Every structure is written in structure tokens, then in C-alpha cells.
Amino acid sequence: MRVSTNGAYQRSLSMMQQLQSAINHTQLQIASGRRILSPSDDPIASARTLDMQESVARLDQFERNSDILGNRLGFEESALGNVNNALQRVRELAIQANNATQSNETRSLIAIEMREQLDSLMQLANQQDGNGRYLFSGNMDDTEPVSRNGSVFNYNGDQGQRMIQIGDARQIADGDPGSDTFFRVKSGNGTFAATPAAANSGTGVLDGGSVTDTTIYNPGQFTIRFVDPDNYEVLDSGAAVVATGTFESGGTIAFNGIQLSIEGEPAAGDEFDVSPSVNDNMFAMIDDLATAVESIVLNETSRAAMHNGINAGILAIDQAIGNVIDTRTSVGSRLAAIDGQNDANASTILTLQETIADLQDLDYAEALSRLTVEASTLEAAQQSFLRIQNLSLFNYL
């Protein structure tokens, strides 16, 4: 077989170019700290790395979502805390006003502060987050949720909750509609409400009452009517008598699985209505309470009416506080869930990054050793090429 000088030259040059390329590749690996510089270096590892990098990017987005969600829920929790404080203050004022030592003048001053607290509650209900979005408007977060027209309070948002993805299988609501927190406050004790008739002429004052036997309690309309100051009868919505009894101030009146008491001296013909609780809004409740507090007491009958109004208002405030506590509990649970999900996401990200590092990162000891071998091989090839290049038949003539 004949080997041309040009063929030998080209083969030697190609081999040295391959060796130089290998050295360059190793040097790039050392400079970058990466074993895989292109997918062709390790197609399987490259595909796995790409999948895990996408997972890390997705988890990073979940963490950003969590930050936004936690920030908004933090605004809501703070607002609800202030709402609770305002309601507690209104309750303190109501108890203060319900004291027999208060005069018409001092109660009017208490009512003024109650209305100031009502204004504060309106502002809190219309509070915005750091991005100018209303906290309690549901999905209509560009609409002020609560408005007032005289003694009428309206909710202008919707019932929606925006769900934010914070994990592969985890979504959390970023707020609560004000309709639930502010406009679905149960009247009375939360199960039923007892109210005196406006035409009562006696001095009977109701307490809140309670359900004592749920097995026989049946929601319905009932009327406690005083036949005379010492005897009463209980009528259902069809005017049928369901119970009768002898009245004693502060004593128990029981029927239909419920009991309540009336203090004072009801007059013959006085009536007290008992009906299932209905939804009302805390703003109207406080407005009604302030109206009861500032009512003018002229005699014992009007004093009883004032006490009945304040007692009903205190029950309403208790129900409103319960609503706020329920919402705050929900917000707190979501904040805790965010923390837990963030911990899980961070742990997953760390595991993925460690796996990516195992696939991508360079073994410096192996790379440096390989570079030394490649450099030595290239040097030997270059020296061999020089020797072969200088060979000629004329050297032997």
C-alpha cells in the first residue's frame, strides 16, 4: 500500500486538531465548572437536567406567588384585627351606656363615640392592600366594597375569591368577600332573636335566650303575650297556644326547646316576638345600637325600651365579633399553610438543585488529570509530526 506524503500530513493534522479540540473542551469545562457544556455531551443527563430546571423555575414562581399572597393576607389580618378592636370598643361603650346611672346627656356622648367607631369600621371594610386593591370586594377588587346611604349600608363587591397557586396541587384564596364578614351577621343569639313589640307599655327587659334542647327545637315564629302582669301565654305563627305560665321577674320562660327570661314588670297585652335569626350587617347593627343608646328616657317604659335596644345591640356585637374571629382564623390558617408550603417548596428546590449539580458539575480532579493527559498527547503528536515532516529520501542518497 502506498501512502502519499500529503495523506500522512492530513491525518496527522486532523489528529492534532482533535486533540486540541479535546483540550479546549476540557479547559471550558474547568472554566465553567460544568461537566455538560452542550446536550451532546450527555443527552440523557441533559434531558433530566432540563426537566428539573423547569421544576425549579415553577417552584420559584410558586414562592413569588406565596410572597404576594402572604402580603395581601397580612393586610387582611391586620384590618380584621382593627375591626375586632373597634367592635370590642363598641361593646364596652354599650355596657357602659346600659348602666342605670347614665343620663340622657352622657348616653348621647357615648352614642357619638359609637358612631365614630362605625366610621372607622367603614374605613377598615374599605381598606386596600399595598397595590391599591380593595381587600373585601371579592373579585371586584377595584370597587369600594361598602357604601352608605343614610342608615342603609350596601355591599358593592361580589362573593368571589381569587385562588393563587402556591404548589403543584395547592391553591389558596387571597382574600375574603366582605359579604361574609360584614353582611352575614346573625341577629339575636345566632339561633333566634327575641324582640319586644313597639307598643309595649310595661317595663319588661329581655335577655338573649338560648337553645336548651336541640331535639325539640323547631325554628319558627312565636309570640310571648302577657295576659296580665303575672301570667303569659306563648302563641305560634298560627295563633295557637303552645305554652302558658306564671311570670316571675328574671324567671325562666321555656318552650320549643328554648328558654329566655324577662326582667321588670310587663303590662297586660305586652308582647315579645321570638323568631329565627336572620342575616344583618354589622354597620346597621351598630347604627341601631347608637340610636338605642341616644334615645331619650322619659319614664320607666322608655327606659325599658332603651335597655332592650342596647341588649339586642350587645348580642349583635357578639355575633359580629364571632364573624370576625372566624374570618381571622381562616386567614391565619391560610398564612400557616403558606409557610408550610414554602418550606416544602424550598426543600424540593434544594433536592432538585443538588441533583442538577450531581449531573452537571465537574469533577475537577478528573478534569485536571484528563487535561494533563490530553496536553501530553498533543505535545507528543506535534513532535512526531515534526519528525515525520522532515523525512525525505534525499536524506539517504
Give the Cα separation of 88 and 124 in Å (integer).
15
More confident residue, 271 or 9: 271
Tell the CATH superfamily of the 41-186+281-389 domain. Answer: f41 fragment of flagellin, N-terminal domain (1.20.1330.10)
How confident is the model over 2-42, as pLDDT tens digits?
555 566 566 766 766 666 666 676 676 676 666 665 666 66
Give the whole-number percent of the chain exceeding pLDDT 90: 70
Domain assignments of the chain as residue spans, ordered by start: 41-186+281-389, 188-277
Phi and psi at 98, nearest 5°, equal -75, -5
Angle (CA) 326-330-333 rounded to 5° is 135
- Contact present, 39 and 315 (Cβ < 8 Å): no
Structure confidence at residue 1 (pLDDT): 47
Give the whole-number percent of the chain exceeding pLDDT 70: 79
Structure confidence at residue 194 (pLDDT): 95
Q: Is the pLDDT of residue 62 over 80?
A: yes
Q: Which of 48-52, 170-174, 196-200, 310-314 has the lowest mean pLDDT?
A: 48-52
Segment 286-296 shows an average pLDDT of 96
What average pLDDT is seen over the chain?
87
Look at the chain and count its residues. 397
Give the Cα separation of 373 and 231 in Å (integer).
113
Q: Is the pLDDT of residue 271 over 70?
A: yes
pTM metric for this prediction: 0.79
Q: Is the pLDDT of residue 64 over 70?
A: yes
- Contact present, 276 and 218 (Cβ < 8 Å): no
Q: Tell me the pLDDT band of 292, cut-offs 50, 70 and 90.
A: very high
Segment 103-108 shows an average pLDDT of 95
Give the Cα separation of 294 and 75 in Å (integer).
35
Q: Is the pLDDT of residue 209 over 70?
A: yes
Structure confidence at residue 49 (pLDDT): 75
More confident residue, 14 or 293: 293
Q: Is the pLDDT of residue 330 over 60?
A: yes
Continuous segment of H or E residues that includes residue 64: helix 43-97
